[in-house]
Amino acid sequence: MGDKAKGSLAITFTEPAILHIVSKMVGENTQKIDESVADCVGEITNMVTGGAKKILSEKGYKFDMAIPSTIIGKNHAVVHATKGQVMCIPFKIPAGSFFVEVCFEE
């Protein structure tokens, strides 16, 4: 597998879920979406993509990684940069839900 793989990843959080997660990460009660929440979302994305890259590189895949983008707000659409089938993995925690989407080109 000498060629580089092309893929994209998106993580979408409900507001209650991300506020709960960020509160646990920073050890303070976070009650509103602000720049610190956006920074934590970026860090979570880096951790997830870094872990996935490590696992997949051990299986022979090669990746270049882009700097993650954070979009805040309601009623937006996630459009993946790659043209493949999107797999959405839902997660539920007591505070709410979040979703991890992955898309790889073949």
**What is the per-residue pLDDT for 33?**
94
Q: Cα–Cα distances in Å, from 35 out to 20, 23, 48, 71, 89? A: 15, 14, 20, 11, 26
Q: Cα–Cα distances in Å, from 21 out to 37, 40, 55, 58, 79? A: 9, 9, 24, 29, 25
What does each of the 106 residues of the chain score in pLDDT, given as a tens digit? 456 778 888 999 999 999 999 999 999 999 999 999 999 999 999 899 889 888 888 988 887 777 778 888 888 888 888 888 999 999 999 999 999 998 888 6
**What is the per-residue pLDDT for 80?**
85
**What is the per-residue pLDDT for 2?**
52
For 28, left (φ over 0), alpha (ψ -120 to 50), or beta? beta
Q: What residue segments make up the domains of the chain, in order of their start?
A: 7-104
**What is the per-residue pLDDT for 1?**
46
Q: At 86, give phi and psi (nearest 5°).
A: -95, 130
Q: How would you label 8-37 residue by residue, b for 16+ Cβ within 10 Å and e otherwise? A: bbbbbbeeebbbbbbbeeeeeebeebeeeb
CATH number of 7-104: 3.40.1550.10
Amino acid at 49: T
Q: Which two tokens stand for residue 19?
A: 């506020």
